[in-house]
Structure 1
Amino acid sequence: MTSLDLLLSRFSTDALAEPAPAGDVLEAILSTAMRAPDHGKLRPWRYAIVQGEARVKLAERVVASMKRLDPDVAPAKVEKRFSRMSTMPMTIVLGMHLRPENKIPLLEQELAVGAAAMNILNALHATGFGGVWVSGDVAHDPEFAAEMGFPAPHKLAGFLFVGTPTAQAKAPTRRPVDDYVARWTGAPAVFGADA
Structure 2
Amino acid sequence: MSSITRFILDRASEPRLQEPAPPMSVVDQALRCAARAPDHALLRPWRYLVVEGSGLAALGELFAACCPPEAADKERDKARRAPERAPMVIIGIASPNHHPKVPEAEQVMSAAAGMSFLSLALSDAGYGTMWRTGPVAYHPAVHEGLGLQPGESIIGFLYTGTIASEKPPVPRPDTGSYVARWEAPGQLSTWET
TM-score normalised by structure 2 residue count: 0.88
d(CA) in 2 for partners of 1:171, 1:147: 37
Residue 103 of structure 2 is matched in structure 1 by: 105
Q: C-alpha displacement at 1:84, in angstroms? A: 2.1
1:191 and 1:18 map into 2 onto residues whose CA distance is: 49
Matched residues in 1 for 2:104 and 2:79: separation? 30
Q: Which runs of 5+ in 1 are unaligned?
A: none
Structure-2 change in CA distance of 1:30 and 1:170 (3 Å)? farther
Cα separation, 2, equivalents of 1:179 and 1:189: 17
C-alpha distance in structure 1 between counterparts of 2:169 and 2:85, whole Å: 22
Whole-Å separation in 2 of the counterparts to 1:31 and 1:8: 22
- What residue number does 1:3 align with? 4
Q: CA deviation at 1:74?
A: 4.3
| Aligned residue among 179, 182, 190 for 2:180 | 182
Q: Distance in 2 between matches of 1:98 and 1:44?
A: 5
Instruction: List runs of 5+ in structure 2 lacking aligned partners.
Output: none
Is the Cα contact below 8 Å between 2:33 and 2:118 reproduced in 1?
yes
Please, which moves more after superposition, 53-62 or 180-189? 180-189
Letter in 2 for 1:108: E
CA contact (8 A) 1:124 1:130 kept: yes
Cα 1:22/1:191, change in 2 over 3 Å: farther
2:189, 2:168 → 1: CA distance?
Answer: 29
Matched to 1:134, the amino acid is R
What is the CA–CA distance in structure 2 between the aligned matches of 1:185 and 1:35, rounded to whole Å? 33
Q: Distance in 1 between matches of 2:81 and 2:168?
A: 21
Superposed displacement of residue 191, structure 1: 8.6
1:153 aligned to which of 147, 151, 154:
151
Q: Which residue of 1 aligns with 2:22?
A: 21
Alignment match, 1:78: 76
Superposed displacement of residue 46, structure 1? 0.8
More strand as a share of residues: 2
Query: Are 2:46 and 2:111, in contact at CA under 8 Å, matched by a contact in 1?
Result: yes
Instruction: Please say if residues 51 and 90 of structure 1, whose CA atoms lie closer than 8 Å, have aligned partners that are also in contact.
Output: yes
In structure 1, how many angstroms separate the alpha carbons of the residues matched to 2:156 and 2:163? 20
Deviation at 1:118?
0.4
Q: Secondary structure at the match of 2:40?
A: coil
Contact 1:38 1:112 in 2 (8 A): yes
Q: Could you tell me how far 1:136 is from its partner in structure 2?
A: 1.1
Q: Determine if contact 1:98/1:153 at 8 Å carries over to the other structure.
A: yes
Distance 1:147 1:191 in 2: 49
- Aligned-residue Cα RMSD (Å) equals 2.0
TM-score normalized by the length of structure 1: 0.88
Residue 33 (1) aligns with residue 34 (2): yes
Q: Distance in 2 between matches of 1:191 and 1:51?
A: 49
SS in 2 for 1:72: coil
Q: For the residues of structure 2 that align with 1:94 and 1:189, how far apart are their CA atoms? A: 39
The 3-state SS of whatever aligns with 1:183 is: strand
